[in-house]
Amino acid sequence: MLINRPSDIVPSEITPQDFYARRREFIKAVGGLALATALPQSALAGDPLRVTVKSPYSTSETPTPLKNVIAYNNFYEFGTDKEDPARNAHTLKTRPWTVSIEGLVKRPKTLAIDDILRLAPLEERIYRMRCVEGWSMVIPWVGFPLATLLKQVEPLGNAKYVELTSAADPATMPGIRRDVLDWPYTEGLRLDEAMHPLTLMAVGLYGEVLPNQNGAPLRLVVPWKYGFKGAKSLVRIRLVEQEPKTAWVRAAPREYGFYSNVNPEVDHPRWSQGSERRIGEFLKRKTMMFNGYGDQVGQLYAGMDLKKFY
């Protein structure tokens, strides 16, 4: 299957959202062949999610076309090229799936993904997302606050951080067979960051179940941080006292700090972070502090040197 890079995609080639919403009707009409070769199979197999809450946190910006969102991803467990996850993630089996919540908590739990889906009403949140590599998207995620999950286990007073661990199965994740990172992929947040209402556990996008290449069945979304902070295909959430050693901090500490806040004043050692290119657009735009969410999260970092704690 040929998948164009976003830089090669012109607006006339982008699948409109209303067309995508009617795709099952279209598949019946034409036998499914044309559309099945245009979109990754995991997207076609998605089930609609019942969104019951209208979120006050969504941006009013136009979402990035679905075609780009599901075809251009960083998910090293399925390959390092942007198109690799869409090609390879069909091997991931998301049922049965459990997530353990453990560590410095009063009531540790191991929950099946379907039980997690019943914990809270699902809502759609249209978030700006900024990649450390300089590109950005606007994505309509479906999910619920991470705080909802953490409250289930009652964090203890000495819990200061949340460590999140992704699946690492070489049988279904071909990228695990390469020593690109120290597997499994781990990420972390300070507890107050994790409990912030913007921090989302995503189970879907564009109103349907999360495609495998986007981190099914459960992934982290923190819109004021660079995208690599969003650990995918989560299997463990652990409350700890010390700052976790995250995958990218272990791999390249000079390039990827623990906080990973979008900050145009702190360049990556190999490129500027002062501008970004929105996928589907030609011209670059100025990068916003905290990805434009400063009014909501700036108080979390009051008094901190954000060039030192990058």
Q: pLDDT digit of tens for each residue in the chain (310 aa)?
A: 333 433 333 333 334 444 344 444 333 333 332 333 333 334 334 467 888 888 899 999 999 999 999 999 999 999 999 999 999 999 999 999 999 999 999 999 999 999 999 999 999 999 999 999 999 999 999 999 999 999 999 999 999 999 999 999 999 999 999 999 999 999 999 999 999 999 999 999 999 999 999 999 999 999 999 999 999 999 999 999 999 999 999 999 999 999 999 999 999 999 999 999 999 999 999 999 999 999 999 999 999 999 999 9
Q: Domain 6-248 sits in which CATH superfamily? A: Oxidoreductase, molybdopterin-binding domain (3.90.420.10)
Distances (CA, A) of 143 to 49, 116, 201, 210, 306: 10, 10, 5, 10, 29
Give the pLDDT confidence of 245-268 residue by residue, as tens digits: 999 999 999 999 999 999 999 999
Report the predicted TM-score, pTM, of the whole model to 2 decimal places: 0.85
Q: Is the dihedral of CA 22, 23, 26, 28 positive or negative?
A: negative
Residue with tokens 């995991």: 42
Q: Give pLDDT, residue 28.
A: 36
Q: Give pLDDT, residue 1.
A: 34
Q: Give pLDDT, residue 49.
A: 87
Give the pLDDT confidence of 175-218 residue by residue, as tens digits: 999 999 999 999 999 999 999 999 999 999 999 999 999 999 99
Please give the distance of CA 254 from its chain centroid, rounded to a whole number. 23
Please give the distance of CA 267 from its chain centroid, rounded to a whole number. 22
Report domain extents, the chain: 6-248
Q: Give pLDDT, residue 47.
A: 64
84-104 per-residue burial string, b: 16 or more CB within 10 A, e: under 16: bbbbbbbebebeebebbbebb
Q: Give pLDDT, residue 48.
A: 77
